Structures are given as structure tokens and as C-alpha cells.
Amino acid sequence: MFTPHVLPLQPSVLAAGQALSLRPRCAGVLEVVQGRVWLTLRGSWSDRPGAVADHVLQAGERLCIAAGQHAVVETWGPCASADAAALRWSGVTAAPATLAPAAGAASSDWEGGVVQPLRDLRHALGQGGRVLGTAMADVAGAGGRCVAGLARFALHRTVPRRQRGPCAALP
């Protein structure tokens, strides 16, 4: 994990599966230029010291980060191989930790707050259904093997003993 104190002014690329740890010396704004990220912000707010806040930011959205707050940023997507994200840092004199959406915030809020969680839920339910189907097939297979074993045991007990042994020589 890379821990810079200041990101360069040009966009920095965060590859899929990587995390970036930020602890800025001065307040600033982190902007997502491309992709989608999950950002965990930890710091001391006057009403909740040491509190942690998670944010999912998409391209065009910004988050103000106060001096000394710790932010961990990683790519975020519906599957494990999320696309890379590009980030830009710009320092400001004072900034509260609030989300500053770009133009088109209503559609972005709808996409990020309703549509994407529904996509994530559909994906998770699909995976759960596949796992449940596999488990049910395994249980059915085990049940079949159990029934076959019980049948062999019952037949073994019901067949007379002299028929079970090797063929006796004829008199």
C-alpha cells in the first residue's frame, strides 16, 4: 500500500486490486476523474472523535479531506476485477469532510444510491442462487448414496446365508 502525503496535480491511476492510503498535511479535495472508488475516511470530528465514514465515489465526484485525516482509497466495482480509477488531489485552505458532487448530481445520486446497489444485489443473489443449487445437488447425491447403501445392507440381511457364500461343490 502506497502512502503519499500529497498526490500530484495530474491524475494518479489506481489499478484494480490496489489500495492507496492518504494522510494529507493540509486540507484538500480528492476528485475521482475516472472509474469508481470506495473511500474510507478516518479522523477526528468534533461530534464523533475517531469515527470512520465510507463513501463510494464515481467519476466527477469530489470529497473534501481535512488535514491529518486518514483516507484509504481502492477501486470499487460489482466484481473483484474492477476497472482502474484516476484520482486528482487539489489543496484548499479549509474544507469540511463533505461530499461535493459535480454537475448532474441528481442523476449521479440516483445511479449511486439506487441503481448500482440494485445491480450489486442482483449480482449477489445470482451468486447465492448458484451456491444454493450446488449445495442442493450435493445433498441429493449424498441422499442417493445413502439410499443405495441402505438397500445393499437390507438385501445382505434378507438373503439366506448359504446363498451368500462361494459356490459349494455339488454332491
Match 480528492 to its residue by C-alpha cell: 30
Task: Kindly state the cell numbers that stand for 169.
Answer: 461343490
pLDDT at 135 over 70: yes
Residue 2: predicted pLDDT: 45
Question: What burial class does residue 86 get, using C-beta atoms within 10 Å of its C-beta: 0-12 exposed, 13-18 middle, 19+ buried?
Answer: middle
The predicted structure's pLDDT at residue 141: 94
Closest listed residue to residue 25, CA positions, set 64, 88, 68, 71: 68
Per-residue pLDDT at 100: 47
Phi, psi of 2 (to 5 degrees): -95, 130
The lowest-confidence range among 41-45, 86-90, 157-161 is 41-45
Here the cell at position 86 is: 484516476
pLDDT at 131 over 70: yes
Tell me the pLDDT tens digit for each residue of 8-64: 445 688 888 788 888 888 888 999 998 888 888 886 554 455 567 888 888 899 888
Q: Dihedrals φ, ψ of 125, to 5°? A: -65, -35
Mean of all residue pLDDT scores within the chain: 76
Q: Which residues make Cβ contacts (< 8 Å) with residue 46, sequence separation at least 6?
A: none
